[in-house]
Chain A
């Protein structure tokens, strides 16, 4: 069709092109909000399902983070206690301590005499009367070893095996074994949380995609009208892509709020539990940066879900 002389308001200067882009996005933006608010129950359901799906991995991450903190806090007392034979001599314990100080995996060594052990026991409730009835000190010399930080399970096992072969050693007790087991469990848990997060992100993507698909199917007449009056594929698609973005953003906000609610609900009981063991452990929340990022990532997820569905559902050019 012949190019006619431009009419008022149609000049396509660069600022006008930018303005047209903005106006058409505003049209899609408003149309998407109108659609979501026009079906409040359906929108609320989609957002809630998405919010719960995203809150689940966040909750696990929160619990894992706190288990890690607990492990780290208790891990500072990690030690290997070597009990010498009761009839042994102080020289055996001191010789062992000297050998240990030369090893790379050992950070500190302390030799505790039977007298020191007895004094420690005497401070413990319920033991003082029993100890008074003893006419001799039955406790052995104890060599307390603090391994270097981040000693791995293999190194610790080798050290313990070596200790058991040393002269005068009766028993070796590894106080840090539980920590290594916990670390292994936490590693499994972290991997499980990552997998769960990926699976639930895909689920959220499908939830948004399905909502947008139903919306497109319910508005086939409107889409036909838009196409017939000359709307470009991008113009037709935009309200649905914005809708996906809103679903994701709102779902992300719900997930963040649910996680914060959980943090708040668990903080006091955990503090009470810690206090009952005579310690102090503050329930640590997820980093604020991560919580702020969740709605942004969820919005991106919603956008992607809507974009994929639009690419399939709006492919027909007619």
Chain B
């Protein structure tokens, strides 16, 4: 599903965020990317989201090299990707329903099908009762779940999440991880960047450890100790 091949990323400031990074993620796999601040987790996700392009090497998702994708192809490629952010990035002047519906409007899904899918996604994250509310009236954990509903509503084959539990207490963090676990079980590939080692250990999934932009460890799920 995801293949990084000798990927390096140097920012115009001269900072080398990733250096010769190579790894492979199978379809339907859930993988954590961890490392201390500045290790390159966010840059890795930015390359997958096509916010940045690698300086060297190739980033391949489902057989398509993102490094060489034309700018005009980026919106279409992003529609096949669900993104979850630490700060939720919700549109605060829209309802919960409208936020979750947005990727479907962009993808051109028919209104009846949109409504059905939005409600299904909200039900999955336990927020169906809040569909008409403004996101600002929800708690941080609930806002994060709205963000997750928005990421899964278009049924993308790949979900990437940047510190999705960063602002949540352990109970809510475990809840969110439970949701990702469910998505993985139905065949979605999930890549989560997190520095919460306790959570990573509890979830028991494959872990990629980054340090100064290099992959220093690749721990299989079976070897992750609780």
Residues of A whose CB lies within 8 Å of any CB of B are 1-2, 4, 7-10, 12, 16-17, 19-20, 23-24, 27, 34, 38, 221-222, 224-233, 235, 317-318
Contact A23 B111 (CB under 8 A): yes
Contact B91 A225 (CB under 8 A): yes
Tell me how far the C-beta of B191 lies from the nearest C-beta in chain A, rounded to whole angstroms.
14
How long is the Cα–Cα vector from A318 to B49 in the complex, in angstroms? Answer: 9
Contact A27 B105 (CB under 8 A): yes
Contact A230 B75 (CB under 8 A): yes
How long is the Cα–Cα vector from A232 to B51 in the complex, in angstroms? Answer: 14
Residues of A within 8 A of B49 (CB): 228
Residues of B within 8 A of A224 (CB): 89
Residues of B within 8 A of A34 (CB): 93
Contact B89 A1 (CB under 8 A): no
Total count of chain B residues near the partner, CB < 8 A: 39
How long is the Cα–Cα vector from A175 to B62 in the complex, in angstroms? Answer: 90
How long is the Cα–Cα vector from A9 to B117 in the complex, in angstroms? Answer: 10
Partner of A317, one of B61, B63, B74, B89: B74
Contact with A along B111-123 (1 / 0, CB 8 A): 1111011000000
Contact B110 A1 (CB under 8 A): no
Residues of B within 8 A of A1 (CB): 61-64, 77, 80, 157-158
Contact with A along B91-108 (1 / 0, CB 8 A): 101000000001101111
Tell me how far the C-beta of B34 lies from the nearest C-beta in chain A, rounded to whole angstroms.
23
Partner of A318, one of B51, B113, B155: B51
Partner of B78, one of A19, A221, A222, A230: A230
Contact A235 B106 (CB under 8 A): yes
Partner of B63, one of A2, A23, A221: A2
Contact B75 A9 (CB under 8 A): no
Residues of B whose CB lies within 8 Å of any CB of A are 49, 51-52, 61-64, 71, 74-81, 83, 89-91, 93, 102-103, 105-114, 116-117, 150, 155, 157-158
Tell me how far the C-beta of A101 lies from the nearest C-beta in chain B, rounded to whole angstroms.
79
How long is the Cα–Cα vector from A23 to B105 in the complex, in angstroms? Answer: 8
Tell me how far the C-beta of A231 lies from the nearest C-beta in chain B, rounded to whole angstroms.
5
How long is the Cα–Cα vector from A17 to B117 in the complex, in angstroms? Answer: 20
How long is the Cα–Cα vector from A16 to B76 in the complex, in angstroms? Answer: 18
Q: Could you pull out 30 A-B pairs where Cβ atoms are within 8 angstroms?
A: A1-B157, A1-B158, A2-B62, A2-B63, A2-B157, A7-B113, A7-B155, A8-B113, A9-B114, A9-B116, A9-B117, A10-B107, A10-B109, A10-B113, A17-B108, A23-B111, A224-B89, A225-B90, A226-B106, A227-B75, A228-B83, A228-B89, A229-B79, A229-B103, A230-B75, A230-B79, A230-B103, A230-B107, A232-B75, A318-B52
Contact A229 B93 (CB under 8 A): no
How long is the Cα–Cα vector from A128 to B80 in the complex, in angstroms? Answer: 101
List the A residue with the shortest CB-CB distance to B91.
A222
List the A residue with the shortest CB-CB distance to B99.
A225
Residues of B within 8 A of A232 (CB): 75, 106
How long is the Cα–Cα vector from A231 to B61 in the complex, in angstroms? Answer: 19
Contact A229 B83 (CB under 8 A): yes
Contact A38 B93 (CB under 8 A): yes
Residues of B within 8 A of A230 (CB): 75-79, 81, 103, 106-107
Residues of B within 8 A of A222 (CB): 91
List the A residue with the shortest CB-CB distance to B114.
A9
Residues of B within 8 A of A233 (CB): 75
How long is the Cα–Cα vector from A1 to B74 in the complex, in angstroms? Answer: 12
Known: A16-B108, A230-B106. 13 other contacts (CB 8 A): A1-B157, A2-B157, A9-B109, A9-B112, A9-B117, A225-B90, A228-B51, A229-B103, A230-B77, A230-B78, A233-B75, A235-B106, A317-B71
